[in-house]
């Protein structure tokens, strides 16, 4: 997420729960507001299977059951 804007209200980050004050730069994750640090955090890259080129599930399995 790259678009940041100043907060209009006090609150907290929905991801890391750090306090947010009026005027702090915040971002939008699609559902909730997040602090500047969480908004600019890079997305983790998925683990791709070299055989079937599918992203592995959190338990390590993929489409080809390698």
Q: Tell me phi and psi for residue 53, to 5 degrees.
A: 60, 25
| pLDDT per position as a tens digit, 17-49 | 999 999 999 998 788 899 999 888 887 888 888
* Distance, CA of 13 to CA of 32 (rounded, Å): 8
Where exactly are the structural domains of the chain?
Answer: 1-66
For residue 50, what are the CA distances in angstroms to 25, 44, 46, 57, 65? 40, 18, 12, 14, 12
User: What pTM value is reported for the model?
Assistant: 0.61
Q: Is the pLDDT of residue 15 over 70?
A: yes
Q: Is the pLDDT of residue 57 over 90?
A: no
């Amino acid at each position: 997420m790259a678009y940041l804007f100043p907060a209009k209200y006090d609150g907290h980050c929905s991801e890391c729960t750090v306090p947010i004050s009026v005027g702090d730069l915040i971002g939008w994750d699609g559902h909730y507001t997040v602090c500047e640090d969480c908004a600019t955090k890079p997305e983790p890259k998925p683990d791709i299977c070299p055989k079937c080129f599918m992203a592995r599930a959190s338990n390590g399995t993929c489409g080809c059951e390698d």
